[in-house]
Chains A and B, each alone.
Chain A
Amino acid sequence: MDVNMINPILCAFAEIIPQIGFQTVQKKNLSLVGPTFTYDGVLINLSVIGPIKGVIMIGMDNDSAKRFASKMMMGMEVVEFDKLAQSAVSEMGNMVCANACTQYSKIGVTGLDISPPILMIGQGGQATLPVPQTIVIHFLVDDINIKVYVGLV
């Protein structure tokens, strides 16, 4: 995948995250990994279909996920990553990826659609994307580290 094609995803993050209660969104760095990677914590999986196909995954550790959900819920304390907190974080994934589809349409890639978010929680979990290489974008959202895995073709 052309690395420039991730710009709509960067735009989507920058546009949506401030609207859901966060102050700052910083893109830290990009890296490339193989199709298979391991994760600890929470991974939100959204499939993309249309002229561009594949998967966008958003990952964070358990503590970050609780803090992220807390901010989305206007500071409500999140002790357990319960159903409501899971729903909040999943919805963030949904909103970011849907907005990315809109951003892609602005550069002429129209007709994209996304699946509902699938939330995975685990330690030492392994995900394999249907691409030779996965682009990993590291974001710092306020003080929360987030990794976005992009496997689109």
Chain B
Amino acid sequence: MKFLIVDDSAFMRTQIKQVFSELAYIEFAEAVNGIEALEKHRTFNPDVVILDYIIPAPDGLAVLKILAEIDKKVKIVMITSLGNQNFIYKDCIECGAFAIITKPIARENALKVIKSIRTRVI
């Protein structure tokens, strides 16, 4: 599987790679802002985008809307620290997010994502 990780935090990009690479064989690409995310999506053609809700412009929600419109196959997993805030969940789901994970990313949540992606991909 190919994952594009979009987060402006170097620590979070490292942590996400660690958590997911323990669960599956994954090829990673990284982006630190919305513009780079859209560019990397075009060149890397990921199966999954792990997308932080708050990133330098365009923000995570705007990138989600664009990617959901131009790529019907990609699974977009939103990550946010603002867990359990209903308006974020509502916005993300309405805009086409495949899943939403709160930070810090727990191994069991990452595993759920991997399982559900495999179920739908295979």
Contacts and interface: CB of A to CB of B under 8 A. Distances in A.
B82 A83 contact: no
A123 interface: no
Interface residues of A, number: 23
A98 B82 contact: yes
A102 B104 CA distance: 14
A98 B83 contact: yes
B11 A88 contact: yes
Interface string A103-117: 001000000011010
A42 to B, nearest CB: 14
A76 to B, nearest CB: 10
- How large, as a class, is the contact surface on chain B? 10 to 19
A109 B100 CA distance: 23
B116 interface: no
Contact of B11 (A84, A102, A105): A84
B9 to A, nearest CB: 5
Nearest to A76: B14
A102 B103 contact: no
Contacts of A56: none
A43 interface: no
B12 interface: yes
Contacts of B106: 19
B80 A98 contact: yes
B104 A113 contact: no
Interface of B: 8-12, 14, 18, 54, 80-85, 103-104, 106
Given A19-B106, A90-B11, A101-B85, 16 more contacts: A73-B11, A73-B14, A74-B18, A84-B11, A84-B14, A87-B9, A87-B10, A87-B11, A94-B9, A95-B81, A95-B104, A97-B81, A98-B81, A102-B82, A102-B84, A105-B84
30 contacts: A19-B104, A20-B104, A73-B14, A74-B18, A84-B10, A84-B11, A84-B14, A87-B10, A87-B11, A87-B12, A88-B11, A90-B11, A91-B11, A91-B103, A94-B9, A94-B103, A95-B103, A95-B104, A98-B80, A98-B81, A98-B82, A98-B83, A98-B103, A99-B81, A99-B83, A101-B82, A102-B83, A114-B82, A116-B8, A116-B54
Query: Which 8 residue pairs of A and B lie closest in terms of their CB atoms, listed nearest first?
Result: A98-B81, A87-B11, A88-B11, A87-B10, A98-B82, A19-B104, A102-B84, A95-B81
